[in-house]
Amino acid sequence: MPKVKGPRSALHAIAIFEAVKGLAALAGLIGVLDLLHRDVRAVVTALIGRFGLDPEGHYPSLLLHYADLLPNTDVRMLVMLASAYIALRFIEATGLWLGKAWGEYLGALSGGIYIPFEVLHFIDKASWVNAFIVALNATIVAYLVYALWQRHQAKGLA
């Protein structure tokens, strides 16, 4: 890949974004594991009350639903799946930061997998937030595919 500041900066920005997603997932996992030792429903109910939310509203009722499911969760499976996701984000971020082709492949593949689901979710629940998520992910995947294409073009010229 040519030593141009723009493409390198874009890869660094995507790498930081992926690392932040990994850190957020790690924080979420730690939080969920901490909740396993508490009355989850009471914690969620207190949070809903603290923020003055309607417990019958969509998101608060969704939180209460998952609070009821958490105590029966297979913790080992949860930790394994979350750890795999976190590791994938950090490995991808490292590859992108270092400008490695495998990082670009991993980023394009792991981001591309989500696009059909995000589009279906957007169709089902159209909102500016969902549109932004689809557009952001599609832009990142398109950029990584373009970077890979440029890399292969440069190899062909060498």
Q: pLDDT tens, 130-150?
A: 999 999 999 999 999 999 999
Q: pLDDT tens, 93-123?
A: 999 999 999 999 999 999 999 999 999 999 9
- Rounded to an integer, the average pLDDT of 74-86 is 95
More confident residue, 22 or 41: 22
Give the number of other Cβ atoms within 10 Å of residue 81's Cβ: 12
38: phi then psi, degrees, rounded to nearest 5: -130, 170
Summary mean pLDDT of the chain:
91
Q: How would residue 55 be classed by pLDDT, with cut points 50, 70 and 90?
A: confident
Q: What's the number of CA atoms in the CB half-sphere (13 Å) around residue 104?
A: 20
Question: At residue 36, does pLDDT exceed 90?
Answer: no
Q: How would residue 67 be classed by pLDDT, with cut points 50, 70 and 90?
A: confident
What confidence score (pLDDT) does residue 1 get? 46
What confidence score (pLDDT) does residue 4 get? 44
Residue type, 46: A
